[in-house]
């Protein structure tokens, strides 16, 4: 029974490790590849296999060791016109920020994952947040059919120093508004007012531009299977303001290479 529960817990945690890995690398393919390397390593190493089955913190800690053993990717030159300050962050502050703000680990848990004291993890997160406040402003299209959520997103975006140029409630409207406004970034819900899909809207937008996209959905695990082209930047509902700000900065860092 204990073995079965550990396997169940691992299966539940893996989609969120994929989300973290994609956000950290800026691409679905790159992030999923690192997660796959970890799982393949566990097949040949009983110690790694036991560790990743010992809860989410242990799973993310094992991933971090593998990540830190390799090269940290940087976006190719010319990919993103509006470069984010997060591009100049050392790797550890960026990891600490994503673990704490995107994945929701406490500061103590973030430190445990990174192999650092809680006080050092807190300094890294604060350093990363200070860097985010220096981001260059960009123009943002919001695709969200619930007015209250759209207004909340607009306020977060404005407080981060960016400008919402339009809000679309359907896939058809999103394509029209994107063509008219030419925003630098898109934040999109998945299920829209008329039954259309934010994914379809983004696919149509991709024919017009390579602007980075952040998806926001109540069911993020459905877009974290690794079985098809899926988003690199994904926020679950309900969301925290800090999570949105961190995702925006990370998406701008990697630019269009965050699409898949």
Considering only 82-86, 207-211, 222-226, 245-249, which range has the smallest mean pLDDT? 82-86
Rounded-to-integer distance, Cα 119 and Cα 239, Å = 25
Three-state SS annotation for 198-230: HHHHHHHHHCCCCCCEEEEECCHHHHCCCCCCC
The predicted-structure confidence for 162-217, as pLDDT tens digits, reads as follows 999 999 999 999 999 999 999 999 999 988 888 888 888 888 888 888 888 999 98
Between CA 242 and CA 129 the distance in angstroms is 9
pLDDT digits 0-9 by tens, 30-81: 888 899 999 999 999 999 999 999 999 999 999 999 888 874 444 444 444 3
Percent of the chain with pLDDT over 70: 87
In angstroms, the CA 212 to CA 258 distance is 6
Of the chain, the end-to-end C-alpha distance in Å amounts to 38
What integer best gives the mean pLDDT of the chain? 85
Architecture of domain 139-258 in CATH? Answer: 3-Layer(aba) Sandwich (3.40)
Rg, Å, the chain Cα set: 18
Rounded CA separation 125/123 (Å): 6
pLDDT at position 111 is 97
């Amino acid at each position: 029974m204990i073995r079965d529960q550990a396997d169940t817990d691992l299966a539940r945690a893996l989609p969120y490790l994929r989300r973290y890995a994609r956000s950290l690398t800026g691409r679905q393919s790159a992030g999923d590849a690192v997660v796959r390397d970890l799982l393949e390593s566990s097949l040949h190493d009983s110690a790694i296999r036991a560790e990743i089955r010992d809860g989410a913190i242990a799973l993310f800690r094992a991933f971090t060791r593998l990540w830190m053993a390799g090269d940290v990717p940087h976006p190719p030159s010319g990919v993103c016109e509006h470069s984010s300050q997060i591009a100049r962050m050392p790797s550890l502050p960026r990891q600490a920020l994503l673990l704490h703000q995107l994945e929701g680990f406490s500061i103590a848990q973030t430190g445990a994952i990174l192999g650092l004291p809680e006080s050092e993890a807190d300094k890294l997160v604060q350093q990363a947040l200070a860097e985010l406040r220096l981001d260059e402003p960009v123009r943002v299209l919001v695709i969200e059919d619930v007015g209250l959520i759209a207004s909340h997103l607009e306020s977060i975006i404005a407080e981060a120093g960016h400008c919402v140029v339009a809000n679309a409630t359907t896939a058809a409207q999103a394509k029209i508004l994107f063509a008219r406004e030419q925003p630098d970034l898109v934040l999109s819900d998945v299920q829209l007012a008329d039954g259309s899909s934010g994914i379809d809207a983004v696919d149509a937008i991709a024919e017009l531009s390579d602007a980075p996209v952040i998806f926001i959905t109540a069911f993020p695990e459905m877009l974290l299977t690794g079985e098809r082209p899926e988003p690199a930047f994904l926020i679950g509902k309900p969301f925290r303001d800090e999570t949105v700000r961190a995702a925006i900065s990370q998406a701008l860092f990697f630019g269009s290479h965050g699409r898949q």
